[in-house]
């Protein structure tokens, strides 16, 4: 029986050659938001390595939305050129280039992981952070500024403008980052959103900004190309965002024309309690898929071909996103095809190593 992991998946006008996706992973290697040759080699090698879809790291829609000064950005036209070059290489390898657009909110303005991932103040090259409410992520953080209506409107318009640039850069899949404790997730969770206006309180109010961003993105993103949304299915903390709300949101997003929910979890609060283990997030993708009918992607400690095959073959998710495992092995697609006895095309330059 042929592998489900290596079966194609058509979403709107594109067809992924397999269900292996390179998850967006920050490289903390940009300058002023600009991609460079590190990103070309990092993303390009994974396209040559057989993955069906390559999603560029969380790319900030504005300078203050970056997690770190080394984050990629799409807040000005000059940032398009290098991304276009990278995408054309990805396309040349019969893979699909995707982008994740993001705003880090109160989790912005941090140093890179190899510099301690510490909050940067303005004397260290950092900047003032924003959030739905003036609540710190870590007790030692500076207090974020609660966004007013003008600030919220700017976030929406920044996502819209970045989407227009993503189209110009030839991205073929766009993912909105509403997970991992970043700004849209901060609005969704009652642990970080204490607002009393139309953006706080009820479930409908807490998801309002995410829906406004979806609508703004759709105004620039062609209906012919897939639109994903990444969510954290649960905060893993009492009183926080939960799986039932994730199902409810996913139903609404499906009705709004979103094609796939990329299902992760956690990241909102520092006191989260996550029961880590292989496939620990897969049940959330499975639940959302079964209860809403929308396509889902599974992520998190999925490291082996047979493990990924079982998830897709049993209908728990439609795509598998690989992060750390793809850092360990850029040729993940080629390796997994060998593991599952699937024949797939190799780059001509590498064919002599194919056994």
Active site residues: 182
Residue 257: CB atoms within 10 Å: 12
Name residues whose C-beta falls within 8 Å of residue 150's C-beta, 6 or more positions apart in sequence: none
What are the two backbone dihedrals, phi and then psi, of residue 206, each rounded to the nearest 5 degrees? Answer: -70, -30
Cα dist from 27 to 44, 57, 71, 131, whole Å: 14, 7, 7, 24
N-term to C-term CA, the chain: 21
Instruction: Confirm if 162 and 61 have CB atoms less than 8 A apart.
Output: yes
Q: Cβ distance 130 to 147 under 8 Å?
A: yes
Which long-range contacts (C-beta less than 8 Å, at least 24 apart) are formed by 112-120?
Answer: 112/28, 112/68, 112/70, 113/28, 114/28, 117/68, 120/68, 120/69
Query: Do the beta carbons of residue 166 and residue 101 sit within 8 Å?
Result: yes
Question: What's the Cα-to-Cα distance from 142 to each of 121, 269, 320, rounded to whole Å?
Answer: 8, 15, 37
Structure tokens at 120: 């940067």
Q: What angle do CA 111, 113, 119 make, to 5 degrees?
A: 30
Q: What share of the chain is helix, strand, coil (3-state, %, to 5)?
A: 40, 15, 45
Question: Are 106 and 186 spatial neighbours (Cβ–Cβ below 8 Å)?
Answer: yes
Nearest CA to 72 out of 113, 101, 108, 41 is that of 101
């Amino acid at each position: 029986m042929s592998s489900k992991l290596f079966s194609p998946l058509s979403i709107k006008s594109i067809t992924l050659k397999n269900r292996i996706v390179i998850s967006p992973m920050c490289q903390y290697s940009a300058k002023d938001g600009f991609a460079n040759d590190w990103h070309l080699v990092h993303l390009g090698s994974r396209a040559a390595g057989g993955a069906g879809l390559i999603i560029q790291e969380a790319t900030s829609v504005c300078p203050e939305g970056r997690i770190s000064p080394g984050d990629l950005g799409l807040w000005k036209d000059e940032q398009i050129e290098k991304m276009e070059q990278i995408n054309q290489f990805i396309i040349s390898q019969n893979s699909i280039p995707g982008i994740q657009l993001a705003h880090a909110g109160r989790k912005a303005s941090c140093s890179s992981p190899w510099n301690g991932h510490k909050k940067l103040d303005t004397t260290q090259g950092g900047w003032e952070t924003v959030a739905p409410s003036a609540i710190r992520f870590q007790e030692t953080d500076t207090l974020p500024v609660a966004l007013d209506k003008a600030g919220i409107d700017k976030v929406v318009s920044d996502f819209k403008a970045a989407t227009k640039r993503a189209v110009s850069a030839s991205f073929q899949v766009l993912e909105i980052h509403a997970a991992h404790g970043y700004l849209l997730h901060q609005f969704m969770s009652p642990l970080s959103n204490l607002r009393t206006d139309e953006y706080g309180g009820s479930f409908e109010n807490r998801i309002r900004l995410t829906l406004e961003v979806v609508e703004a993105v759709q105004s620039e993103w062609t209906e012919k190309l897939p639109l994903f949304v990444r969510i954290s299915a649960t905060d893993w903390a009492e009183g926080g965002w939960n799986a039932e709300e994730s199902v409810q949101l996913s139903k609404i997003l499906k009705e709004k024309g979103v094609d796939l929910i990329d299902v992760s979890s956690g990241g909102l609060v520092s006191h989260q309690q996550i029961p880590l283990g292989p496939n620990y997030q897969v049940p959330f993708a499975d639940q959302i898929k079964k209860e809403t009918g929308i396509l889902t992607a599974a992520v998190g400690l999925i490291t082996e071909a047979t493990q990924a095959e079982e998830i897709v073959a049993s209908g728990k998710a439609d795509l598998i996103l690989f992060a750390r495992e793809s850092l360990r092995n850029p040729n993940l697609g080629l390796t997994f095809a060998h593991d599952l006895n699937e024949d797939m095309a190799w780059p001509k330059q590498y064919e002599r190593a194919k056994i």
